[in-house]
Amino acid sequence: MKLSNSGAALLERKGTRHALVVTEGFRDVLEIGYQTRPKLFALGIRKPELLYDHVCEISERIAFEGFTEDSRFGREDTPGTLVRGVTGDLLRILKPLDETEVRNKLGLIREKGIDTLAICLAHSYLYPNHELRVAEIAAELGFQYISISSSVAGGMVKMIPRGSSAVADAYLTPKIKEYVTGFSRRFQGGNLDGVNCQFMQSDGGLTSYDKFNGLRGILSGPAGLFPQFNHR
């Protein structure tokens, strides 16, 4: 990978080995995608290579409660626990997060030598609590970098683009951090503290070295490979 060009790392498949954590029943969601392809009726289909090495399904399920006009709306005698999402909408936890299961399954991933995770749970854009708790458990188990879809993709509703964003972030950001760390060693004190140094993102905007990540640097282009200094 040349400097901080995460786009090159993505094209050359030189990113970080990582695992994808999803809600049980959705292990193939990113591989299936939207079934869009340039030649709709072609029989020989070449699928793009997946960025993640392993998929971990965990037991949890959140459902949107529906509309107030529905006679079942908010009824306490319906199975599941009622909660409010980040938007204020009423949700029902049909299947609580099984933390013991999460700890055991993530432990098996660590045994494979994988220390980076991408987490994408169904409906986490409304209720990120389960993703955040999985991330906390992963950190306790020694995972070095954890990408949370509800954080890196904001309020993105659809699971496929949200999950794809988390996967790309997990694949590229550790490499970006390696570059920034090596770059920082060339400054006095071996770090960029107190240095007005910014990096270009895909949207052309600048960000500080500690907030620069692979997801936002994919399309930064050649100019974005080099830090931008504000000379005074």
Q: How far is CA 10 from CA 23, 90, 185, 219, 229, in A?
A: 26, 39, 25, 11, 26
pLDDT at 203: 75
Rounded CA-CA distance 34/214 in Å is: 24
pLDDT, tens digit (0-9, with 9 covering 90-100), for 185-226 = 888 777 787 777 888 887 778 888 788 888 887 776 544 544
pLDDT at 148 over 90: yes
pLDDT at 23: 97
User: Would you place residue 169 in the very low, low, confident or very high pLDDT band (cuts 50, 70, 90)?
Assistant: very high
> Which of 153, 188, 186 has the alpha carbon at shortest distance from 167?
153
Residue type at position 217: G
Give residue 231's pLDDT. 43
- At residue 199, φ and ψ (nearest 5 deg) are -115, 145
Q: Residues 62, 97: contact at Cβ < 8 Å?
A: no
Give the separation between CA 191 and CA 92, rounded to whole angstroms: 47
Going 86 to 89 to 90 to 95, the CA torsion angle's sign is negative
Burial of 159 (0-12, 13-18, 19+ CB in 10 A): buried
What six digits make up the tokens of 70?
């529905």
What digits encode the pLDDT tens for the residues 2-33? 344 577 777 788 899 999 999 999 999 999 99
C-alpha 55/C-alpha 61 separation (Å) is 17
Does the pLDDT of residue 129 top 50, yes or no? Answer: yes
What number is the average pLDDT over the span 85-106?
Answer: 95
Say what the pLDDT of residue 140 is.
97
Average per-residue pLDDT for the chain? 85
Mean pLDDT, rounded, for 129-149: 97
The two tokens of residue 71 are 């006679």
| Predicted pLDDT at 220 | 62
pLDDT at 177: 87
- What tokens were used for 92? 């029902």
| Per-residue pLDDT, 202 | 78
Neighbouring CB atoms inside 10 A of 197's CB total: 18
Given a contact cutoff of 8 angstroms between Cβ atoms, the answer to whether 127 and 91 are in contact is yes
